[in-house]
Structure formats: C-alpha cells, structure tokens
Amino acid sequence: MMARNPAPTSERRAYVNARLFDPARQLDQTGGVLIEDGVVKWMGDAVTRTSLPEGTNITDVNGALLVPGLVDMRVFTGEPGSEHRETLQSASKAAAAGGVTSIVIQPNTQPVMDDASIIDFVRRRAQDTADVRIYPMAAITQDLDGEKMTEFGLLKEAGAVAVTDAVRSVRNSKVLSRAMKYAGNFNLLLVQHVEDTDLAGGVMHSGESATRLGLPGIPAAAELISLERDIRLVEMTGAPYHAAQISCAASLDVVRHAKDRGLPVSCGVSINHLTLNEHDIGAYRTFFKLSPPLRREEDRKALVAGVADGTIDVIVSSHDPQDADTKRVPFSEAAFGAIGLETLLSAGLSLVHSDQLSLERLIEAMTDAPARLLNIPGGRLEQGGNADLAIVDMTAPWVVDADLLKSASRNTTFETRALEGRVTETIVGGHSVYKLSDH
Amino acid sequence: MAKTSSAPRPFVKSSNLLSIADLSPTEIGALLDLADTYADDTRKGSKHGKVLKGLTQINLFFENSTRTQSSFELAGKRLGADVLNMAVSASSLAKGETVLDTAMTLNAMRPHLLIVRHQSSGAVELLAQKVSCAVINAGDGQHEHPTQALLDALTIRRHLKRLEGLTVAICGDVAHSRVARSNIALLSKMNVRLRLIAPPTLLPSGAENLGTEIFTDMREGLKGADVVMMLRLQLERMNGSFIPSAREYYRFFGLDQEKLAIANKGALVMHPGPMNRGVEIDSIVADGVQSVIREQVEMGVAARMAVLDALSRNLDTSSKAGS
C-alpha cells in the first residue's frame, strides 16, 4: 500500500528449495514460491526448478526458512520532526534488514499525527522514500493532550490503521471511554500504553536493583491499574482494545481473564521484554531504559509463556531511535527507548533455539496476528497475496554491531550480542529490498 | 616530610572511587588504617605536603555542598595538591551543556584527581568513562556517597575499636539517601548488623533484600543499637508528600533523649549534616556527650586524604608532573 514502488515489473521470479512456513495456514513444507506482478502467483511443493516456466529468475535458497514478511505494529520514527534520529526511509531500511515488510508508525512525531493532513503527508513520504509498507497510527487526542479527541473518521479515511497516544496513557477515564466508543464505531482499534502516570514516575522497575542504583522505580501496579481500568471500560463500551505492551507477569492474568470473558481485548509485548530483564541495565546503561521498564526475570519468563499460550497476541520491536543527546546523559535524564527492527527476528529466534518458544508462535505473533488485529494486508503466505516475504537462515551466527545497523540511530539493546539466525533476503511486493550478501 | 605509609604499590585496585560496592573488605580496612594515621598526624600537627605535590585536583560540584567541597579541598591541600573548585552554575547547564561536555572540557585541563558531585544517580560513573584521571564520587543523586561511608566507619572504629559485630541503626529518609546506601554497602561488607528505621513512605522498594532488619517503630529499632545514625530529611518531603508534617515526624522518628535511652548505653549518635534540629534530631542529643557529629567532620578530612592518597598511587606516574 505504501512502499516505494518502482514500475510494476512483469518479471517472473521464484524462490525454490525453501522451507515454506506460515503458522496462520499451518504450513510447514519444502517448496517454492513464484512471484509475478508483485503477488504470489503459485506456491507449494510442486514449485521446483524444473516445474517453473522458462525465463523465470530462480533463486535456490538451500532449505532456508521462507516466512511471510514480518508486521511490526509499534515503530517510532523521527519523521516528521526528528529526522536526525530516523527518517521513514532509514526506518524502512532497518525494517528490510530485519525481514519486516510492514511497519506501523506511532503518532508522537512533531507535529503529532493528529490531523488527516499529517497522515496524508506521512503516506506520501513513505511512498516516495520507503522500501517497506508503512502504516500510520493516529493520535487518540489532539496533540496527545489526553483530553480532546481527534477526527477518527477523517484520520481513517486518510490512512490511519488504529488510534493511540503512543507513549502516553489516556489518563481521564471519561475521555478514554468516549474515545473507545467513537473508535469502535469506525472499526478502529484503540491502542493504549498501559501505565498509571502518577504511580509510575520512575525510570526503571521498582525493586532491589533500582534501590541499589538509587533510581526511582516504576512499580508493576502502575501497569496493572491502568490495564484493569481500561478493561472495565472495554466491558462498558464493547469496543476493541489493544494494550500496546505489557511487561509484568500479573498483567497476563488480567488479560487472560478479560479474554475468558469474551471481551475484545488483545495485547503486545516487545522483543526486549521477552529477552532481557532489569539486570541488563547494569551500571546505568541508558540503552536499556525502556517504557514499560525491563522487569524481573520471573516476569520475562511469564511473558514468554504468555506468547506461547496465546495470551499475548503480538510481538513488537518497539523500535525507538534515540541519539547521544538523549542517551549519553545520566540515567534519570535519558530518554526511554531502544531500536530493534533489525534484531527483532534474530532475538526472537534465540527463544526458539533455547526451546522457550515454538517457531510457530514466534512467527504468528510477528506476522498474521498483528495484520489481523489492524485489518491490514500481509502476514500470510498465500496465492494471490502480496509477495511480502522474508528468507531466513535459521542457524546463521552473527554478532550485533551497532555501527553496521541500518537505523540512523545506534541505541540497540543487543550490541555485541551473539545471535543465531538471520534474515538473508527480504521481498516487498515482489521486489527484493534487502539481501544480506550485498551488505 | 612524614609520609606515613610509604608503600609504593597501590592498595586499592580501582583507579576511581565511584561506589563502595567496588571496594573489598580488605581495601576498606586499608583505607581506614591510612585515614586513621592521617587523623592522628593532623592532630599532632605533622605535615604531608609532598604526597600529592605537583598533582592537580579539581572539585566539580554540579550540586552545591559547601561542607563536602571544603572537606575535599582541605584534604587535597593538606596533601600538597593544587586544588581548583569548579562550581557548575545552573546557567551553563541551562545553556545546554551536558555532563559529558563539562567532563571533556575539564579533561582537556589534564587534572589528576577529579572530585564530582551530581544530582543524578550514575552521573559520576558516566563522567568517569570520559576522562583519563582518577574520579572520586562526592555524591551522585540517590546512589552513593562513598567517602561519607568511609568517614562514618572511621569515626565508629575509633570510638568502639571495631566494626564487626556492632549493631548500627540507620534512621530516617533511607529511600532518598545516598549516605544510607553507601553506609549499608560498607557496613554490610564489614559484618555489621544493620537496621533501617523509617516510616514506610521513606523506605526504598526492595529494602527487605538489602540484608538489613527493618523497623517502622523507632523505639523497637533502637533496642540494642551501638550506633544511631540519623539521616537528613529534605524539607520538600515534609509537606504532606512523604510525611504529613515535621512535627509528626519529630514525634515518631526524631531522636530525642527519651528515644536515645532505649539504645545501648553510650551508643554513638551520628548525623551526616547539615542537621534539621527539632525535625530528625533534638538539639540536646545533637550536642550531647554521645554525639560524635563534629568528629565526623574532622574524620571526613582524614578519610578523604586517605582516598586521594590511595588513588594517586594508581595514577600513571608519567602524568605525575613534578614528582
């Protein structure tokens, strides 16, 4: 929808000898994919080097994993307003390098995406400059003030796929209940950052580590109170609701209970919270200052189990580029956030390799689940669908080097980490937008 | 010249003193021994003006503290260092200069010893990564104030002849106190039995995991204490945010004669200063026979002399101009 599209090509290209893997369709077989006019023309075990028509540009991937291109529904960019941190183009290159073919960008830009004209601007910029599909979320309230609703209908017409106040939680229950009702009427998902602002206040998980470091803490209750209140409002309004990221074990019980009652509630978790804990902060490493904060190891394990059992619907990178001005300062003054598009899948695969999570759940939570929640195309491997694909060498070892990442910012939580599994090629609308061998 | 410990080899491993957590019990013991000697020598009038001769010490205070800054200044001067005080005015920070900008600027002046106080936890550690001299933390946010813990331990040891096995009660605003954190770290390493006494709103989260006993009733907490260490309560926390009022705090957590009588006979009364008389401590107690508060100030200079001396031994000697 919104990727830079060179003239549609009638070139036929195919990837053969792949492990075709799509949890949404319970597909796991050796085979190939034929792409024509940007869509998947033919796929399956019958697609082999010999069965393809003459003149097809064929790539043999030697048994590599071929999955639907990832859909990342929580990505922050700096465009408009902070282009020195990230542009739509640099974010799209980072996404492509991580096998992410659709990114959903957050509205806390400067100016805030609270007006149809800004959504329109971002869409056009994406069309002109980006290599992957970019979908904007619009603000729930004007200038993210938490008080005055934005024009959900016009924003949706302009291309907004959901509404959220990004890193802010709508604090006023009356405003939120109205926004829920109103968004539900336009069939727009309302996405909330779950945090009780008054209780949160701090800069890392509240507990022994924070006390030893002399840093003000953010208690788990700050998330729970917000989440529980929001779910009461969902009960009242019946509108679909998504908690952008949860970070505590206890939040899983809250979400599970809401789902058991049949409420239209879903939630996400960031890859950071599935693979890191509060101790990674070490001696005031600001790249690990995240919102919500990294919590205890027990929480991390519970979150992984929550993805495994489906309580958590989606995994996001929560890619948030920050530069030295906002990160090379004392911890309590530093900005929250870490980049993550390029390491999303590899970090996720570390959970698979260590038998903490199945490949099916990992891929589903990064492809079909977010696409269905937002009602956007993609996230599946199917004939007639967009040819948005990622090819992954499941066992390729690599060491993350921030200087080699494509993002315009360097604030990765995975610097110098050894990861296993890497995207070797990313295809968007039939075009190869990233090849590891070229880099 | 009466350089008391002429051991040429360094006896603390680290080139900086950023937190008590980085020191081993042996290193703490050695620093206290050296400080003890400096304290005695100063009383006797012996001079140590050659220990840091030719070295430049910069006191960089992002947060005002006349007492700590003077103490470091005196310690450096007694050891013969050239001491420069840099008060970083609010205006230069308002102009957008960051901690790291300041650090780089100072580094270009090639000091040997840099004493830093900053209002943010971890800021001194951040700065230490960017400079090539020895850095001493003179208090960072709510994190640590290591020389305060050393001077407190020195004061206790000189009076009670030991640390191990003593019972020390730390009372007051533990949650926001770097003095408390450094003291907990140091005294735990020296096998002191620690108690924290505070209203629940002034206890830090996870306090139960710090290896101390916790009391919210001061009288209970003072039973059997050999040392009562009071903490300063910042005025802004008394206005109903953490405690309802100063008078209620004084009633339940202020150290007066009646509460002090519950502690062991002759228990030491300590306070890092500056005191809020009539809030956390009664004047009669503060000035009484059990109080060692003024002696803490004296030991502060000695402990800082020991730290400066110890760290200067780890400096690259080629940079020790004129020595």
Interface test mutation site (partner B, options A198, A199, A213, max chain B beta carbons within 10 A): A213
- Structure tokens belonging to residue B142: 């709510």
- Measured between alpha carbons, how far is A419 from A358 in angstroms, rounded to an integer? 17
B18 to chain A, closest Cα gap in Å: 11
A210 to chain B, closest Cα gap in Å: 8
Question: Taking a C-beta distance cutoff of 8 angstroms, is the pair A31, A45 a contact?
Answer: yes
Q: Please, which residues have CB within 8 angstroms of residue A366's CB and are 6 or more apart in sequence?
A: A70, A71, A72, A314, A315, A344, A345, A348
Chain A residues touching residue B181 (CB < 8 angstroms): 211-212, 214
Out of A207, A217, A330, whose CB is closest to B123?
A330
Chain B residues touching residue A214 (CB < 8 angstroms): 121-122, 140-144, 178, 181
- Measured between alpha carbons, how far is B48 from A300 in angstroms, rounded to an integer? 55
Segment (H or E) for A350? helix A344-353
Instruction: Return the SS3 of A320.
Output: coil
Interface test mutation site (partner A, options B120, B203, B241, max chain A beta carbons within 10 A): B120
A330–B141 CB contact, under 8 Å: yes
Beta-strand pair A39-44/A389-399:
unpaired
For residue B88, the model assigns a pLDDT of 78
Kindly state the percentage of chain A with pLDDT values over 70: 98
A331–B178 CB contact, under 8 Å: no
Instruction: Please state, rounded to an integer, the average pLDDT across all residues of chain A.
Output: 96
A331–B120 CB contact, under 8 Å: yes
For residue B3, the model assigns a pLDDT of 44
Taking the CB of residue B162, how many other CB atoms lie within 10 A of it?
Answer: 12
Residue A76 DSSP symbol: -
B121–A283 CB contact, under 8 Å: no
pLDDT for residue A205 is more than 50: yes
Kindly state the percentage of chain A with pLDDT values over 90: 96
Beta-strand pair A13-22/A265-270:
unpaired
Interface of B with A in 156-195 (CB under 8 A): 178, 181
B119 to chain A, closest Cα gap in Å: 9
Question: Taking a C-beta distance cutoff of 8 angstroms, is the pair B144, B18 a contact?
Answer: yes
Interface of B with A in 127-156 (CB under 8 A): 140-144
For residue B1, the model assigns a pLDDT of 41
Q: Please, which residues have CB within 8 angstroms of residue A220's CB and are 6 or more apart in sequence?
A: A205, A206, A247, A248, A250, A251, A295, A299
| Geometric angle at alpha carbon A290, from A284 and A292, rounded to 5° | 130
Question: Taking a C-beta distance cutoff of 8 angstroms, is the pair B51, B14 a contact?
Answer: no
- Structure tokens belonging to residue A228: 């529980």
Find the closest chain A residue to B181 by CA distance: A212
Q: How far does CA A86 lie from the centroid of its chain?
A: 16
Find the closest chain B residue to A332 by CA distance: B120
- Measured between alpha carbons, how far is B207 from B211 in angstroms, rounded to an integer? 8
Find the closest chain A residue to B144 by CA distance: A214
3-state secondary structure chain B: CCCCCCCCCCCCCCCCECCHHHCCHHHHHHHHHHHHHHHHHHHHCCCCCCCCCCCEEEEEECCCCHHHHHHHHHHHHHCCCEEEEEECCHHHHHCCCCHHHHHHHHHHCCCCEEEEEECCCCHHHHHHCCCCCEEEEEEECCCECHHHHHHHHHHHHHHHCCCCCCEEEEECCCCCCHHHHHHHHHHHHCCCEEEEECCHHHCCCCHHHCCCEEECCHHHHHCCCCEEEECCCCHHHCCCCCCCCHHHHHHHHCECHHHHCCCCCCCEEECCCCCCECCCECHHHHCCCCECHHHHHHHHHHHHHHHHHHHHCCCCHHHCCCC
Chain A residues touching residue B143 (CB < 8 angstroms): 213-215
Residue A50 DSSP symbol: T
Out of B125, B181, B210, whose CB is closest to A284?
B125
Find the closest chain A residue to B98 by CA distance: A329
Find the closest chain A residue to B19 by CA distance: A213
State the residue for tokens 């900008």: B101
- Measured between alpha carbons, how far is A220 from A213 in angstroms, rounded to an integer? 18
B178–A214 CB contact, under 8 Å: yes
Chain B residues touching residue A212 (CB < 8 angstroms): 21, 181, 210
How many residues does this entry show for chain B?
Answer: 323
> Per-residue pLDDT tens for A35-85?
999 999 999 999 999 999 999 999 999 999 999 999 999 999 999 999 999
B205–A219 CB contact, under 8 Å: yes
Q: C-alpha distances in angstroms, B123 versus A144, B4, B11, B89? A: 31, 34, 26, 17
> Per-residue pLDDT tens for A173-191?
999 999 999 999 999 999 9
Q: How far does CA A178 lie from the centroid of its chain?
A: 27
Segment (H or E) for A424? strand A418-428
Q: What is the mean pLDDT of residues A152-167?
A: 97
Number of alpha carbons in the 13 Å side-chain half-sphere of residue A350: 17
* A12-31 exposure pattern, b = at least 16 Cβ within 10 A, e = fewer: bbbbbbbbbbbbbeebeeeb
Interface of B with A in 255-284 (CB under 8 A): none
Torsion of CA A193, A197, A199, A203, to 10 degrees: 80
B120 to chain A, closest Cα gap in Å: 6
**Could you tell me if the ipTM is greater than 0.90?**
no
Q: Please, which residues have CB within 8 angstroms of residue A421's CB and are 6 or more apart in sequence?
A: A345, A346, A349, A350, A352, A353, A392, A393, A394, A395, A396
* Torsions phi, psi for A72 (to 5 deg): -110, 110
In terms of C-beta density within 10 A (0-12 exposed, 13-18 middle, 19 or more buried), how is residue A160 classed?
A: buried
Find the closest chain B residue to A331 by CA distance: B122
| Geometric angle at alpha carbon A324, from A323 and A330, rounded to 5° | 120
For residue B322, the model assigns a pLDDT of 39
Smallest CA-to-CA distance from A307 within A246, A346, A258, A362 is with: A362
Q: C-alpha distances in angstroms, B176 versus A13, A180, A219, B205? A: 64, 40, 17, 11
> Per-residue pLDDT tens for A124-146?
999 999 999 999 999 999 999 99
- Measured between alpha carbons, how far is B93 from B97 in angstroms, rounded to an integer? 5
Rg (CA), chain B: 20
Out of A207, A284, A333, whose CB is closest to B205?
A207
Cis peptide before A292 (omega within 30 of 0): yes
Question: Taking a C-beta distance cutoff of 8 angstroms, is the pair A303, A246 a contact?
Answer: yes
Least confident range from A117-121, A324-328, B286-290, B313-317: namely B313-317
Find the closest chain B residue to A217 by CA distance: B205
Q: What is the mean pLDDT of residues A198-211?
A: 94
Give the max Cα distance, chain A: 68
Instruction: Return the SS3 of A413.
Output: coil
Least confident range from A146-160, A298-312, B100-114: namely B100-114
* Torsions phi, psi for A176 (to 5 deg): -65, -40
For residue B320, the model assigns a pLDDT of 44
- Structure tokens belonging to residue A385: 């669908």
Chain A residues touching residue B122 (CB < 8 angstroms): 213-215, 283-284, 330-332
A333 to chain B, closest Cα gap in Å: 8
Beta-strand pair B56-61/A133-136:
unpaired
- Measured between alpha carbons, how far is A283 from A265 in angstroms, rounded to an integer? 37
Taking the CB of residue A435, how many other CB atoms lie within 10 A of it?
Answer: 16
B123–A215 CB contact, under 8 Å: no
B200 to chain A, closest Cα gap in Å: 14
Q: Please, which residues have CB within 8 angstroms of residue B256's CB and are 6 or more apart in sequence?
A: B282, B284, B285
The dihedral of CA A105, A111, A117, A123: what is its sign?
Answer: negative
Out of B99, B181, B205, whose CB is closest to A330?
B99
- Measured between alpha carbons, how far is B92 from B94 in angstroms, rounded to an integer? 5
- Measured between alpha carbons, how far is B284 from B270 in angstroms, rounded to an integer? 13
Chain A: which residues have CB within 8 Å of chain B? 206-217, 219, 283-284, 325, 328-333
A212 to chain B, closest Cα gap in Å: 7
State the residue for tokens 């070229």: A438
B122–A206 CB contact, under 8 Å: no
Type of residue numbered A393: D
Q: How far does CA A272 lie from the centroid of its chain?
A: 11
pTM of the full structure: 0.91
A182 to chain B, closest Cα gap in Å: 38
Chain B residues touching residue A209 (CB < 8 angstroms): 206
Chain A residues touching residue B206 (CB < 8 angstroms): 206-211
pLDDT for residue A6 is more than 60: no
A331 to chain B, closest Cα gap in Å: 7
Long-range contacts formed by B237-242: CB under 8 A, 24+ apart: B237/B173, B237/B176, B237/B202, B238/B279, B242/B173, B242/B175, B242/B199, B242/B201, B242/B202
pLDDT for residue A231 is more than 60: yes
B206–A328 CB contact, under 8 Å: no
> Per-residue pLDDT tens for A335-364?
999 999 999 999 999 999 999 999 999 999
Chain B residues touching residue A208 (CB < 8 angstroms): 205-206, 209-210
For residue A2, the model assigns a pLDDT of 56
- Measured between alpha carbons, how far is A137 from B222 in angstroms, rounded to an integer? 58
State the residue for tokens 């996405």: A191
A213 to chain B, closest Cα gap in Å: 5
Out of B98, B99, B181, whose CB is closest to A214?
B181
Cis peptide before A321 (omega within 30 of 0): no
Q: C-alpha distances in angstroms, A361 versus A169, A311, A351, B31? A: 28, 11, 11, 56
The tens place of each residue's pLDDT in chain B, 323 residues long, gives: 444 444 455 678 889 999 999 999 999 999 999 999 999 999 999 989 999 999 999 999 988 888 999 999 999 999 999 999 987 765 566 566 788 888 888 899 999 999 999 999 999 999 999 899 999 999 999 999 999 999 999 999 999 999 999 999 999 999 999 999 999 999 999 999 999 999 999 999 888 888 899 999 999 999 999 999 999 998 777 777 899 999 999 999 999 999 999 999 999 999 999 999 999 999 999 999 999 999 999 999 999 999 999 999 988 755 444 33
